[in-house]
Homo-oligomer: A and B are copies of this chain.
Amino acid sequence: MKIKQVVLNDRPKLIQLFESITIFTPDEQEVIKELLDTYLYNPNQKDYIFFVTQEDDQAFSSFICFGPTPMTKETYDLYWVGTSPHHRRKGLAKKLIEFMMEYMRERGGSIMRIETSGQDSYNETVAFYNGLNFTEEARIKDFYKKGDDLIVYICRL
């Protein structure tokens, strides 16, 4: 397994990976594809970067999308991370987030932000983020929809 930055030729395989991750809703799939196309087709943008893990058989097993938060000095947003159902429970998402931390450190980054739904917290997400030294620093009630809060996780490097 290696981590590689996504290039234009990777688009079909990456779309396939997105679509295999059925825990993403159709709305979420749309947003992720939009970000990918902004990243691939707008050479002037600096807000979104995509990396994947590529297996020995060349398959993409997981991806991450992150970028420097506009107008901040040392803050990065982790926008999306996801793993193919065939490659779960191997620590790939954790590896990609650790890769992002290293990427940030090399560029003077010190704060990583994740915005996520409170509904995600019923599954493994909270334990996962806590294990990576993220803490819940803010919560906006009913943000996504009634009964579905926004939770902001922060990791300070």
Q: Which residues of A contact B (CB under 8 A)?
A: 27-28, 31, 69-75, 110-111, 113, 137-146, 152, 154
Contacts and interface: CB of A to CB of B under 8 A. Distances in A.
Contacts of A146: 73-74
Nearest to A44: B34
Contacts of A73: 144-146
A139 B140 contact: no
Contacts of A27: 70-71
Contact of A71 (B28, B139, B142): B28
A74 B31 CA distance: 17
A118 B31 CA distance: 29
A143 B27 CA distance: 28
Nearest to A45: B34
